[in-house]
Chains A and B, each alone.
Chain A
Amino acid sequence: MKTELSGSHAGGSVPETSAADAVNDIVMAGNKSKGGRPYFLEDPAVERVLNISMAIAADLAVLHERLDTIERLLEAKGHLNRKEIEGYVPDDTAAEERQAWHARFSARILRIVQQEVEAVANPANNVPMRTIADEINEM
C-alpha cells in the first residue's frame, strides 16, 4: 500500500510514512466481521441503498464540519492555513454549536423515520388523506 492512496484530498495531509506493507488500509478498513450479516428490511436491496446513503450522509457531515472550520479560521485570522485546519480543536461554544448542527442534520435525514414513530404515537393525525378529503367535502 502506497501512501498516496491512503491520504484523502478532503482529509488533508498525506501521512508521512505508510502502514505496514501487509496492511491494505483502504480495503481492510471495510472488512466484514465474522458471522452472516442480518438484513432487517424486507428487501435487502433497500437496506443496501440505506447503507450507501448513510455513508454519503456521514461524509456530507464531515464536509460541513470542515467548511465550518475553515469559516471560523478565516473569520478569526483573516487567512487560511492547511496545517491550522488539521490542528483545529473547537472551543466549548463552537463544539456545542457543531454538535447542535449534527443533531439537526441527523434529524433532517431521518425525518421519515421520526414521522413514522409520530404516526404510531398519534394515530388521530394519521388518517388517510382520501378519508380526510371525504370529510372535508362534508364540511
Chain B
Amino acid sequence: MSYQLPPVWTKLQQHAVFPEFNHDERARYNFLANLNRFVSTVIAPGNKLAYERRVEPQFVQEHGRSFADRFEVGEAMKKDPVYQMWAALRRSTMEMRQQNGRAVVLRQANQLAAKVAEELKGTETLQLKADFKVPPYLTHVDNHLMPGSYHTEYFPGDVSNAANYDSGLFVTSGGMLGSLTDGGGRAIAAWVKETYPDFHPKRILDIGCGLGHNTLPIALAFPDAEVIGIDAGAPMLRYGAARAHALGVPNVKFIQADAASMKEFANESFDWVQTTMFLHETGGKSIHTIFREINRVLKNGGLNLHIEQPQYTPEMSMYEQFMRDWDAYYNAEPYWGHMHDLEPADLMVEAGVPSDKFMQVGVKAINDLDKKKQDGKVTEDYGRSPIWNVFGGWKSTVK
C-alpha cells in the first residue's frame, strides 16, 4: 500500500475573516501535517507492538496477571523506549502547532479584530455579555495546549485564539475534517436527515459551538430552522459570527452563555439540542447540570444528540483505553478520561430521554477533500480516522 499524503494546507477554504498566511507560514503547517502523519502512521503502531511483545509479557511475568486498568498500562508503557519517543514527538508537534499558529495570528491581531468588526457591521447575530463568568472547568486548563484556551482575549475585540484554532485544526486533524474543518457537523446533519426524514426542527441549539465549525453544516442542512450556537469564549463567538456571515449562512446566531445555566432560553424552547466534541471539555459536576439544563430547554419529543470520542467500555482493550486516554493528560483535555468512563444512557436519563429512547451509533466525518473515500458506510477503525460515537435520544416526558 502506498504512503497516504495529507492534503496541503492551502486546500483549507479561506473566508473573509481568515488570517493571512505568508509563504513560509503555510509551509510550516505543511511540514507539521506531514510530521503528524508520519508519527501517527509509522511510529505510533510501534506502541502496540511494544505493548504486545514486551510490555505486557513482562508485566505478566512480574505480577502473574495482566493489567487491571489503563493506568497500570500507562505506568508500564512509560518505561518503553518506543512509547517514550512517540509520546515526546507527539507532544512536541502539538506545542509546535500552537506556537506556529499563534505566531501567525498574533502578528496580525489588530487587522483580524478589524476584519471581524467590519464583517459584523449591521448584523445582529452576535450576543456577548460584559459580565459573563467563564465556567471554572474552562479557566482551569488550556484545552489542547492552547495558551489562553477559548476564552482569553488579549485586548477588546480580539479574536486571535479563535483564528488560531480555525487555521490550525486542519493541521492537527491532517485535513481529515475537510476544507472548512466541518466534517463532524456535516456528518451529523446528513445522519439526522437520512435517519429521520420527517424531522423538521424549527429551533436548534448547539452547545459549546466554538467558532461554529460544526454549527454551520446543521444550519445549512436545515435552512428553515433558527440555529443558535452558545459558547463561553467571546473570541470564538465573535469570530464565529463573522465567519458565518462571510460564508453566507444567515440562520445562525452566536450567543455567549453558560451551558449549565442557560437563563436566556425558555423551558421547552428547542426542537433539537446538539453538542459536538464538547462534553469531554466540561467537568465532572457540570456535565450533570448541563444535561439537566438540556432537559429543561428541550421540547417534549425533541432530539438530544451528542458527538463524542468512543466511550471506554468493558469490551475495549486496556491498551486501547490507555492510548485513547493519552490526550486527557498530555493534550490537556483532563476531563476526557473520566467523561469516557460514564455510561451515556445514564446521562440521557438525566436529560429526560428514557432508556428505551436511547440510541448510539458510529458516524464518520464527511470530508469534502477526500470524496473518493466517501462510500456512505460507517466503518469501525480505531486508528486516527475521525470516526465518532453519536449518542442521544428523543425526550419523552411521561405525563
Q: Closest B-chain residue to A53, C-beta based?
A: B92
Q: Is the CB of A121 within 8 A of B49?
A: yes
Residues of B contacting A96 with CB < 8 Å? 5
Inter-chain CA distance A15–B93, complex, in Å, is 26
User: Does residue A71 face the partner (Cβ distance < 8 Å to B)?
Assistant: no
Q: Closest A-chain residue to B78, C-beta based?
A: A40
The listed residue (B43, B81, B86, B146) touching A33 by CB distance below 8 A is B146
Residues of B contacting A113 with CB < 8 Å? 43, 46, 82, 85-86, 89
Q: Is the CB of B50 within 8 A of A58?
A: no
User: Does residue B378 face the partner (Cβ distance < 8 Å to A)?
Assistant: no
User: Does residue A89 face the partner (Cβ distance < 8 Å to B)?
Assistant: yes
Q: Is the CB of B5 within 8 A of A54?
A: no
Inter-chain CA distance A38–B93, complex, in Å, is 14
- In the assembled complex, how far is the CB of residue A67 from the closest CB belonging to chain B, in whole angstroms? 10
- State how many residues of chain A have any CB contact under 8 Å with chain B: 66
Q: How many A-B residue pairs have CB under 8 A?
A: 200
Residues of A contacting B54 with CB < 8 Å? 120
- State how many residues of chain B have any CB contact under 8 Å with chain A: 71
Residues of A contacting B6 with CB < 8 Å? 99
User: Does residue A74 face the partner (Cβ distance < 8 Å to B)?
Assistant: no
Q: Closest A-chain residue to B51, C-beta based?
A: A120
Inter-chain CA distance A131–B272, complex, in Å, is 68
Chain A residues with a Cβ under 8 A of chain B: 6-8, 10-13, 15, 17-20, 22-23, 25-26, 28-35, 37-42, 47, 50-51, 54-55, 57-59, 61-62, 65-66, 69, 85-86, 88-90, 95-96, 98-100, 102-103, 105-107, 110, 113-114, 116-117, 120-121, 123
- Interface mask (B24-43 → A, CB under 8 Å = 1, otherwise 0): 11011011111101110011
Q: Is the CB of A8 within 8 A of B85?
A: no
Residues of B contacting A65 with CB < 8 Å? 23-24, 27, 30-31
Q: Is the CB of B88 within 8 A of A19?
A: no
Inter-chain CA distance A114–B43, complex, in Å, is 6
Q: Is the CB of A106 within 8 A of B38?
A: yes
Residue from B34, B43, B50 having most chain A Cβ neighbours under 10 A: B34
> Assuming A33-B145, A54-B89, A117-B43, is B154 touching A23 (CB within 8 A)?
yes
Q: Is the CB of A41 within 8 A of B88?
A: yes
Residues of B contacting A33 with CB < 8 Å? 98, 142, 145-147, 332
